[in-house]
Amino acid sequence: MNKTIHIRWVIAHEPLSLFYRAAKSFAASINSRSNGQNIEVEIMTLNEYSDRYNNGVPVSKHDLLGLMDAGKIEMSQMYTTWLAEKYYFDMHVLDLPFIFRDHAHAKVVLEGEVGEQLLGGLAKRSNVHGLAFTYSGGFRMIPGNKAIRTVEDFDGVSIRSNKNPFAMETFRAVGAIPVPCELEDINDGVANGLFMGGESAWPRVYPLEQNTFSTVMNDTKHSLFLTSMIVQKRFWVSLGAELRQLVKDAAVDAAREERIESIRDGEQAMQKAREEGIEIVELGEGDKQKFVAATQTVYEKFESYFTPGLIDNIKIH
């Protein structure tokens, strides 16, 4: 009889529904592919993990990579930005403004040579092995209380940004003032006047109630909100070649489904916002090209930090 393989998958980010769905999809895929191998995927929130495995001691999303480094959990999803900051700078290439033309371009890159190069580089530099790329959001937009109709409308406006330097430099390039803080703090920041709006993504608007304090949804599509399914490296190596391929294939299946669902979630959120009378603003083609041109300064500032040819390999696909 085959030994049962137990995978502890901890969900560390909000909204839980987006991440729980991806974990469930992985569990379903791996069980359908298992050929009689007993594989249990235990999906937990941070609080559930704390109660079951950490003697009730609270853990936060910022503890997740440490838990994985220590072998205390086997799998999760993680912001690619955080993976870049902690382990492998090249992953930051995914944060560059307008690096992806559309979803089709992103799929080719993420599932192709460049995606595998990034996942492989991560594995060489950490105790984390990347399996596949997920959206958990998709293209970024800005819910807030001011309409951005032209590039000039960014000038002097405070906007919540991701904490990574690429997000902040993207806004500085058009004269905005980035205010780095957690995604979950957008509502409080808008309500208290700390910034006019915050960088988010359509599938997160309603689960995080960002519509509550935002009268305008600025659909800028300036970069992609990406995550990655990750597995603890020692656990990964212990599986053997056949099981590793099984886990990889299941992750790719789940990631493809998750990206499709995220796109659909975004379309439904946009439609709901329209029905509720929330103004949706998109830059005209001329102003979009001005935004693209302005953010070339971000490339100029950081290009030398990346592996030579990496940016070009993404653009040519």
The band of 3, judged by pLDDT with boundaries at 50, 70 and 90, is confident
Contact 224, 140 (CB under 8 A): yes
CATH number at residue 58: 3.40.190.170
Strands 128-144 and 200-201, sheet pairing: antiparallel
Tell me what pLDDT residue 15 has: 87
Mean pLDDT of the 121-136 span: 96
Question: Using CA atoms, how far apart are residues 104 and 109, in angstroms rounded to an integer?
Answer: 9
Question: Using CA atoms, how far apart are residues 118 and 112, in angstroms rounded to an integer?
Answer: 10
Q: Whose structure tokens read 């083609």? A: 285
For residue range 7-18, what is the model confidence (pLDDT) as tens digits?
999 998 888 888
Domains held by the chain: number:
1
* Residue ranges making up the domain that contains 206: 5-315
Contact 280, 211 (CB under 8 A): no
For residue range 131-186, what is the model confidence (pLDDT) as tens digits?
999 998 899 999 999 999 999 999 999 999 988 999 999 999 999 999 999 888 99
